[in-house]
Structures are given as C-alpha cells and as structure tokens.
Amino acid sequence: MQRRLFSGEQEVTSWKTLTVTTHRVIFLAAAGSEQSSTSLMLMKVEWTRIARTHQPLLLLLALLFLVFGLLFSQFSINALIVLFGSAVVTLLAYLASRKVALQIGAGAGRIEVVLDGSQALRNSARDFLDIVDSVAAAAQRGHAIVHHGARA
C-alpha cells in the first residue's frame, strides 16, 4: 500500500514504517492481512511525543485479588484458586498494557507506532521526531524543505 508522492514532493527521511516528505508524514502499517496508510500534512503537525503508558489500576486489582484470595483461603480452597487465577490474569493484562509509543498529532489525526522497550530504539525514535519537528516547523513558516530536515 505504497503512497504516491505529490508533484514536487520529495522524501526527506524514513524510519521504520514512517516517511517524512517535504509535504507530509506517512505511516504504513501492516498487521496480518490488514494494511493501512496514514498521512499527516506537515503544515498541520501540532505535536510529537514518545510516551510510556500502562494501566496501574490493573496492577492494583491484581493485588486485591491476591489479598482476598489469601483471606478466603481459610474458608475455601476453590475461592483461593479462583482469586489467585484472577490475580494472574489481571497481572498479565497489566503487563500487556505497558508500552512505549512514538506519536505524532495533527488536529484530530494521530500516528502511533508502538516500540519495544530498548533504549537504542527510543533514542532513534527521538532523533526521528526531532527531524519531524524541524521539518514541520519549517513547513509552517513557509520555508523550503530539503533532505534530512535542514531548511534552505
């Protein structure tokens, strides 16, 4: 699902599944048999972010299941099994909710790329976002954009 460039549009840089051109940021995603392509116009880019998110309430809920399981274990082994199982499932849900993501926002549009936790990848993502910020700022000021985020 490759995007076609506009007349006069040139690629500035690419990183993973993201491409910055002289006019927009393009994100190509594929998961299984599904593919999508999102583009945000550089003139509209409002913010970039690397965010670490998680659901701490799931961790608290898992702890509560474990505590209640221990309290009710005196009365019923079945209660212990059910509550301990619930604690494990809730803990797994919490671990699955943890992520680090690169995000680019423009109005109601948003591009999000989930990253693995490595510091090197986060640094690389931060460098890419610095280029996006630079190119978007130049586009919004009406300056010509050339390769690697420099402006003419």
Q: What is the mean pLDDT of each run of 10 residues along the chain (152 residues)?
A: 80 92 91 86 94 89 91 83 92 90 93 85 92 92 64 34
Residues 6+ apart with CB under 8 A from 47: 103, 104, 105
Helix (H, G, I), strand (E, B) or coil at 150: coil
Q: What pLDDT, on the 0 to 100 scale, is given for residue 152?
A: 32
Q: Are the beta carbons of 121 and 16 closer than 8 angstroms?
A: no
Q: What is the pLDDT of residue 128?
A: 94
Cβ–Cβ under 8 Å, residues 59 and 94: yes
The pLDDT of residue 85: 93
Buried b (16+ CB within 10 A) or exposed e, 106-118: beeeebebebeee
- Among residues 63, 59, 65, 64, the alpha carbon closest in space to that of 81 is found at 65
Residue type, 144: A
Q: What is the pTM of this model?
A: 0.69
